[in-house]
Every structure is written in C-alpha cells, then in structure tokens.
Chain A
Amino acid sequence: MHQFANPARFMRIAGMALPWFSVAAVVLFATGLFFALFDSPPDYQQSETVRIMYVHVPAAWMAMFVYTSLAVAAASSLVWKHPLADLWARANAPLGAGFTAICLVTGMLWGKPMWGAWWAWDPRLTSVLVLFFLYLGYIALVGAFDDPERGLKAGNVLLLVGAVNVPIIKFSVDWWNSLHQPASVLRMDGPAIDPSMLLPLLLMWGAFMALFGALAILRLRSELMERRLSALRLTLASQPAGSRSSSNEPGLS
C-alpha cells in the first residue's frame, strides 16, 4: 500500500480507475436491477416483497464493509502514519452512513409487510442502528476541532473502539433468538439461497461495490485537492504583505 502513499501518484492512478468504476457501476446496476425486478422469481412465502432484498442486503453488506475499511484505515494511520488513511476515513464515513441509512430504511419498508411492524427492537436492528450512530458520531467528532488533524486523530480512536460492533452485527442473528433471518449467503455449508435469486443479489452487490469505488475515489480526490488548496492559501497568507501586492501601502521609511 505504501507506493500509493504519494498523493500525486494516487491522484493519477485514481483518475485512471475512476471511469472503470463508473462504467461498471452503471452496467451492474442496469443488469442487476433488471434481474432483481423482472427476471427473478417471487418468493414462495414473501411473494413480490422479496425484491426489497436486492437493495437491502447489499446495502447492509456495504455498511459493514465500509466501516471495516474505515477501521483498518484508522489502524494503519495510527501505526504507519499513512497520509491517505486519515483522508480515506473522513472522505468515506458519509458514504458508509448513507449505506447504513439505505439498509435501515429498506429494512423498515420490508418489515412492515413481513413482520407487521416498521421496527422491532431486535439485536440485528439495534446493532445496525448503533453502527449508524457510530458513523454520525465519527463525522461530528472529526468536524468538532479547530485543528483538523486533531479531529482526524480523535476520529481514528473512535473508529477502532466502534469496531467492536462489527462482529456483533454479523453474529447477532446467531447469538440471540432473532426476528431477523439468519445468514443465508455466507455459510459454512454453501448458500441457502436459490441460484435464481443469488445471481441478482450478487450483481447488485457488485453494483454497490463499484458505486462505492467510484464515489470513494471522487471524494478522496476532492479531499486531497481541498488539502492542497488550504496549504496554498496558508503559504499565500504567510508571505509578507509587500511581496503579494506590489504597492498600495505608502511605507514608513
């Protein structure tokens, strides 16, 4: 990872990767949504509402994936002082919060017809809600200091503390009697989901990943540009006034 630590090299490579991610996101969303909405069977119990799954489940995976990536970035920032790791966390926390919000909202929409309630105080739902608040807390903490570096460092500690929640989310359906259904894709004895439903699910997951990749690159590039801008402004401001504007002060000498 260290050869990407040079911001200029990162900008170049990211700039080359961006169109690929964008095209992949568009293509995967188009095919994935086609399969999800039209060319997959309705569930024998849930009938058509099962199609919410093709948005809900990938969003939930992304919510956890993004948080894990932020926590890894926080650790590598604390250990190796990797210059892009801090920025990665700050740039992508809003994306993770967005995925978590999508997951929660689609889950509520799905819960109403299936469980008869918008919300249930179930371990899985509660732990994902906590994840959402961890994202919000991180965003608020990073923005709360006059010195942005200090905010980033404090945020890294918070990200690592909050990482306790990730395994709790994953295993909450196994540890407690839960209303939420247990894992049906990532299982020791193979996925318990029919191939006709697994295909659109995986396509949608790929689409979410590609979308996240494209947005992450965009946000990271704008973070870097913002940092460069503020550095330029600081150098400009620290120069003596005389060297900036030719002469509009009479001078005392």
Chain B
Amino acid sequence: MRGFLALLVRDLRLALRQGSDAVMAVAFFVLVILLFPFGIGPEPNMLARIAAGTLWVAALLASLLALERLFQHDYEDGSLDLLVLGRLPLEVVVLAKVLAHWLVTGLPLLVAAPLAGAMLNFPGSGLPVLLASLALGTPTLSLIGSIGAALTLGARRGGVLMSLLILPLYIPVLIFGAGAVEAAASGLEVGPHLMLLGGMCVFSLVLAPLAAAAALRQALG
C-alpha cells in the first residue's frame, strides 16, 4: 500500500509540475464540443437532443489523448524497468498509474462537463445522471486504455495504433454511458444503465491491470 501511494504521489507530482495534461484534456474536451454547434447548427432543441452523446464522445476522446503518455516517459527514461524489478507487483503499479491518469485527466472532465453541457443546452435536470455516468465510465476508459498503452509501447506510430486497438473496446462503455443520460432525459429507468457501467468498471478494475501488466512484461522482455 505504501508503494502504491508513493507511486501515485510521484505520478501526480510529475503531472502537476509539467502541468499540461489536465489543462490539455479539458481544453480538448471543450473544443470538440464546440465543434458540434458549428457542424450541426446552433438550433437549441437539436443541440439538447445530441448533448448526451456528444459529451460522452468528447470525454472518451479526451481521455484517449493523454493515454499514450501513460507508460511512455517511464519506458523511455528506464524507470519502468525499475518498477518491474521492484517489490511492488506490476499489476499494482499499473493500478497506481491508471489512478493517477484518471485523477489528472478524468476528474477535470467531470468538473468541466456541466459547463460544456450548458453550451449544448443540456437540461440541468439531467446533470446528476450525466455526472454519475461519467464518474463510473471514465475510470473504466482509463483502465481499458492502460492495456492499449502497454501493448503499443515501442511500436511504430504507437498513438494511432493505440486508438485503433482501444476504440472498439470503448464502445460498450459509450453505449451504456450515453444510454443512461438518454434514459434520464426521456424519463426512463436509469438504474440498469448505471449498474452495467458499474459492473464494467469493476470488471475492468480486476482484469485490465492483469492484461496491462502482462503486456508491460512483454514490452520489457
């Protein structure tokens, strides 16, 4: 546990000192959302109709953006070798790095979501469900993403390749995340969607670190 916390604090400190990840993720999130009123037209009812899906797709892309750097720096400067050799199980290392990644890029999206929703004329009554679905969904995205980031370490054109591997696996999260918000907007039961999202979060919490750790071991040979 102490190793876990130490690694978490180290990653957070690195992210804060470099300072760009969180700002970039939020800026990207807001910019993607800004594109939609221009692409579709600023008609308020139309925007309210597509708001849930747009917010979710933008959040998904924003979380993908910083994933490439999840292990990249540590891989390049050799600290990943030390982490593999260290006493902390590699699965726990992955978990700590994913948690740090989510705190830096996922949590700010939750804060920015109400603002971005307001820009899309998203009804305020749907906000709690939107935030709940994002709170359950974005950690899942980071967890699944860690597999892709570990698999593509040292690959040519790793970033594009990672998107190709990860985006199909993101689809279920998107379906139920956007589905929950959609259900809330049309007055249907929200519980099942959120429960499935929670289930996927727990499922990937258990399996994604195993897969990512296996991929990291392959990467470091």
Contacts and interface: CB of A to CB of B under 8 A. Distances in A.
Contact of B215 (A134, A136, A146, A157): A157
Contact of A134 (B151, B168, B218, B219): B168
A158 interface: yes
Contact of A141 (B161, B207, B221): B161
A196 interface: no
A20 interface: no
A161 interface: yes
Contacts of B168: 130, 133-134, 137
A165 to B, nearest CB: 8
B219 A140 contact: no
Contacts of B218: 150, 153-154, 157
Contacts of B175: 126
Interface string B202-221: 00000100010011001101
Contact of B151 (A78, A126, A133, A157): A157
Interface residues of A, number: 21
B129 to A, nearest CB: 21
Contact of B161 (A78, A144, A157): A144
B169 interface: yes
A144 B156 contact: yes
A56 B122 CA distance: 42
B211 A154 contact: no
Contacts of A198: none
B164 A136 contact: yes
B165 A158 contact: yes
B169 A161 contact: yes
Contact of B147 (A145, A146, A157): A157
A162 to B, nearest CB: 8
B16 interface: no
